[in-house]
Amino acid sequence: MIHPTAIVSNNAQIAPDATIGPYTIIGDNVIIGAGTQIMPHVVIDPYVEIGANCRIFQYAAIGAEPQAVKFKDEETWVKIGNGCTIREFVTIHRGTESGGKLTQIGDNCLLMAYTHIAHDCRVGRNVVMSNNATLAGHIIIGDHASIGGLVAIHQFVRVGEYAFVGGKSAVVKDIPPYVLAAGDRATLHGLNQVGLKRHGFTTSAVFQLKKAYRIIFRIGLTLNEAIERVAAEVEPIPEVKHFIDFIKSSERGITR
């Protein structure tokens, strides 16, 4: 159902059972999936694809041009997966030519009020961003990560899977998967044990991750020395391998 006060482009592709609320504006080249609900006063600019069964609340603004001086009005996109909830005043900007032309949000994400996702970000599945959390450009957020309220993340930073970033943190370096980070300049505070337990990680997997975390971050070794020691002393389960591979591939450096 499309409310009669909504302004919807003839070029938009809207599923028959999607709902468009009063005074909402839907631009050209917008795709809205089955069962998605768009509340009143939402603006969806051109080149946005929204999956099925999403809920987008009033005053959200999706698909605006990126706040980047390099942007030259090229065709770039925002793509949002299935089952996402996007609350009041959330802003999500399109990608840029140099960033892959895409800002992407995975399935089943919860973006709370006033969150901002800048150009060329890649947000994984089942991510929670609390109120006023802010992503600069080119950030990667792994699946099942949680970003606390008022968190600001520097451009090109990566946050790993199942990581938790505590509220009011400033993040300027990569945060490995499975960890807890917090602070005015974010520092690590051990594994995200509550999150890992909630997501069904085995006691054995958590134990091996604890061993790897301690060797990497707590006993004063160089990174190369620590990685060699992890290889010698920690069971090479997939979670440990991913933890180490993430750290080794960091370009910005790792939060400690």
- pLDDT tens digits along 112-164: 999 999 999 999 999 999 999 999 999 999 999 999 999 999 999 999 999 99
Give the separation between CA 231 and CA 36, rounded to whole angstroms.
47
Mean pLDDT of the chain: 97
Percent share of the chain, pLDDT over 70: 100
Domain with CATH 1.20.1180.10 in the chain: 197-248
Position 180 scores a pLDDT of 98
Span 70-93, average pLDDT: 97
Q: What is the CA radius of gyration of the chain?
A: 20
CATH class label, 197-248: mainly alpha
Span 81-98, average pLDDT: 97
Position 114 scores a pLDDT of 98
CATH 3.50.50.60 fits 7-138, yes or no: no
Position 134 scores a pLDDT of 98
Catalogue the active-site residues: 119-120, 137
Position 241 scores a pLDDT of 98
Residues of 23-47 as b/e, b for ≥16 C-beta within 10 angstroms?
ebbbbebbbbbebbbbbebbbbbbb
- pLDDT tens digits along 155-214: 999 999 999 999 999 999 999 999 999 999 999 999 999 999 999 999 999 999 999 999
What is the pLDDT confidence band of residue 111, given thresholds at 50, 70 and 90? very high
Domain with CATH 2.160.10.10 in the chain: 7-138
**C-alpha angle with apex 170: 168 to 90, nearest 5 degrees?**
65
Please state the separation of Cα 72 from the chain's center in Å.
25
Position 95 scores a pLDDT of 98
